[in-house]
Amino acid sequence: MSDADRRKQISVRGIAQVENVANIKKSFNRHLHFSLIKDRNVATPRDYYMALADTVRDHLVSRWIRTQQYYYEHDPKRVYYLSLEFYMGRTLTNTMLNLGMQATVDEALYQLGLNIEELEEIEEDAGLGNGGLGRLAACFLDSMATLGIPAYGYGLRYEYGIFKQLIRDGWQVEEPDDWLRFGNPWEKARPEYMLPVNFYGRVEKDSEGKAKWVDTHVVFAMPYDTPVPGFRNNVVNTLRLWSAKAENHFHLKFFNDGDYVQAVMDRNLTENITRVLYPNDNVFVGKELRLKQQYFLCAATLQDIIRRFKSSKYGVREIVRIDFDTFPEKVAIQLNDTHPSIGIPELIRLLIDVEGLTFDKAFDIAVKTFGYTNHTLLPEALERWPVSLLENLLPRHLEIIYQINAKFLDAVAAKYPGDFDRLRRMSIVEEADGMGEKRINMAHLSIVGSHAVNGVAALHSDLLVKTTFKDFAEFYTGKFQNKTNGITPRRWLMLCNPSLADLISEHIGEGWITDLSQLTKLKPLDTNAGFLDNLYRIKTDNKVRVAQFIKDEFNVDVDPNSLYDVHVKRLHEYKRQLLNALHIITLYNRIKADPAAKIVPRTVMFGGKAAPGYHMAKQIIKLINSVANVVNNDPVVGNKLKVVYLENYRVSMAEKITPAADLSEQISTAGTEASGTGNMKFMLNGALTIGTLDGANVEMAEEMGRENIFIFGMEVDDVQALEARGYNAQEFIGKNPELAQVIDQIESGFFTPDTPDIFRDLANNLKYTDRFLVCADYESYVKTQEEVSRVFQDRQKWVKMALHNIASSGKFSTDRTISEYATEIWGIQPNAIRLSAPYEGAGEPPAN
């Protein structure tokens, strides 16, 4: 049965088709002829994809119009989700799924002699994010639309997304991700809503002390809107991405000097602001361009929000002065990490300098409006901008930040008189240290300027309160919350694993699609032999497809009957891909030492990108590929062990790999991973997890029971105790001969005989630094992997554990996460809006 057939089964069961096949064919041919100006004699597969995208988009348009009209007429409180990253992936299949039109489109294209899967593969991933944070934002948009929450995503329309990763001689090589080179059929430019954004300049004060930001350099923000459909509720929200545009006129000076070419070149420099997504993840590197991107997003977005507030019936009652006291009643702004935190002083600036409010009133409104989500415990990831940079780029905002800090520290001093050390620790402005300079702590600014602060897993939120932001949690009673992350079950089960979705629906109905907690109804089926056999068959079919994909893409033969051990995520030392690599070398050494020994065949897959300047992460990629080259070509090993590096791992590839995984690697050092969402995707698709009690793994174990997950290694308290007494990696290496052998092989060039010294830095890091305690957890990890192999041999037990993973996934839906944000932070009731299906007509949605 093909993917199309499986999708068709899910789509047609009990769901009215939105259009008949004849009209889809007519619309498709109309777009091919009149939009693309092609006929079947000259059209390319990409032309067919574009015609199909336009055809599907037609069915979004009237719903998009109706949704925005509803928001304008009823003026509900709106949510604005600000994020520097939206890792959307592909749009076509997800849109057809949410509109319920897959079966009709499948049949229409079949009658036209076209293959829908081939057309779907043509779409470029919208890779506007680095990893988890951006993918979470994309899942949130899906859930907000599905829950009928009036919401807008705001981000940047990067011309180049996350780089395309190539593996050359085992090394990562970066190429530009020119995702827009063929156009984007899902976006609509809105030049009529272009807005000015100011940089540089200076601050003047008038005779009354009122500030004015003057002599600025102006860049314009052009909005591009993308529809975000809810799941079969006719609600279509908007993702608005800003693109930088230079002013429409040249400076007269250039014409006086006759330097027209220079004038054009300077325009290009201006537009660099949204040229490329910064490829760093979990490492803060202060660069002017990055701050420009952050402010550009916030300045354009807040002008847009205020315009929409003023244009609403609530905001304007034909009076001269707008009542901004009502602003927090109509506007909720969520900051996705500190990246958009400059929005806090920007809103205050607009309210003071443009709208004429006092500082105290403006600050009060800002606090009631903003919520802040923290995504990291790693100190190097916390943003701290040099005062000199802010003073040059955003001088008025620096003044406002100083005002915020003074007001805040006065309150702290009143509560803790004489505690100057506490004042120093809590200050938004960090004093110069040694040869450094003063910096603005953006996390502190986000906490002070928001009414709610949340972590993204119970453990993470607890550590924020007890360690990272302990002083603030003591000062602000009730401000800190937890909102455990989730994933959208539409993309991450219904779309990517339709066979499993179909099996689930056959047994418990389709209510789980929008209420994932209903998956608990599957638990009694753990004694149903027929259901378990079907579950095993679906997993096997998915594994066969992935084996063929790996053969086609990477020319590696893998055994579909082997244990698929999958470790896919950004390359970072704290995620400990290196620990997994040590285990692979250990398995290799054991096979070589005793080739006749029985071993459970294992295929280990890695996928993920390292930041281009992250030396150690790139070394780990090279090591994995060097080990793979030796292992995969050793005839003694054969099919007992294979290692595959999934080059250029991205959302569309994750949709293929996730349903086929047997084992999910979630092995970060306890206390370093905020949440993780890959762990949830694998759990929902029936993979078992090997992991530490870190991030959301803790809650996953609680939901499914410790008997259905493989937990190893130190817990947070153990890590803290070990570091407190002084960690010495040599202590662990010295008492474990296998570990010592593995490190010696890496250091001596066993896997890289032509360049034997290439991994010396990596080996020295393991032996003498080992910040993330790889050596300390090695023994426990290897023993737990042995348990994984033993259980995998017991097919019945493994499948039952997989069932309990699936059945326990209900908590980890972004529908649940967003419902909690809505009621506990934004003051909005979810599921309050459900629209009837409009007439299927052409037209453009309003830009409201």
pLDDT for res 282? 54
Q: Does domain 489-812 have CATH number 3.10.270.10?
A: no
The number of residues in the chain equals 848
> Catalytic positions, please?
375, 569-570, 575, 677, 681
pLDDT at 127: 87
Distances (CA, A) of 73 to 70, 76, 146, 312, 313: 5, 9, 20, 8, 8
What is the three-class DSSP state of 510? coil
For residue 266, count CB atoms less than 10 angstroms from its CB and return exposed for 0-12, middle for 13-18, buried for 19 or more.
middle
Q: What is the pLDDT of residue 322?
A: 83
Judge whether 19 and 57 are in contact, CB under 8 Å. Answer: no
HSE-CB for 145 with a 13 A CA cutoff = 31
Only one residue has tokens 């304008």, namely 72
The full 3-state SS of 15-31, as one line of letters, equals CCCCCCHHHHHHHHHHH
* Host H or E run for residue 196: strand 195-199
The phi and psi torsions of 501 (rounded to 5 degrees) equal -60, -40
Calculate the alpha carbon distances from 312 to 75, 306, 308, 316, 587 in Å: 7, 10, 6, 6, 65
Alpha-carbon gap, residue 110 to 288, rounded angstroms? 52
What pLDDT is stored for residue 14 in this prediction? 35
- H/E element, 370: strand 370-373
What are the phi and psi torsion angles at 624 (to 5°)? -60, -45
pLDDT averages per 10-residue partition of the chain, 848 residues: 49 46 95 96 97 97 95 95 97 97 94 96 94 95 98 97 96 96 97 96 92 96 98 97 84 57 71 89 72 97 97 57 91 97 98 96 98 90 92 98 98 97 97 82 98 97 96 97 98 98 98 98 97 98 98 97 98 97 98 96 98 96 98 97 98 98 98 96 98 98 98 98 96 98 97 96 96 98 98 98 98 98 97 76 47
| CATH architecture for the domain at 77-90+125-485+819-826 | 3-Layer(aba) Sandwich (3.40)
3-state secondary structure of 306: helix
**Where are the chain's structural domains?**
1-75+95-124, 77-90+125-485+819-826, 489-812
List, as one string, the DSSP characters of 80-142. EEE-S-EEEE--HHHHHHHHT-HHHHHHHHHHTT--HHHHHHHSPPEEESSSHHHHHHHHHHH
For the beta sheet containing 384-386, the strands, ordered from the edge strand earlier in sequence to the opposite edge, are 384-386, 439-441, 429-430
Residue 454 carries which DSSP code?
E
Matching fold, domains 77-90+125-485+819-826 and 489-812: yes
> Which amino acid is located at 606 in the chain?
F
* Tokens encoding 636: 């003694």
Q: Cα–Cα distance between 804 and 688 in angstroms, integer?
A: 10
pLDDT on residue 653: 97
Inter-residue contact 364 to 415 (CB < 8 Å):
no
Contact 220, 195 (CB under 8 A): yes
Q: What is the DSSP letter of 159?
A: S
What's this model's pTM, rounded to 2 decimal places?
0.94
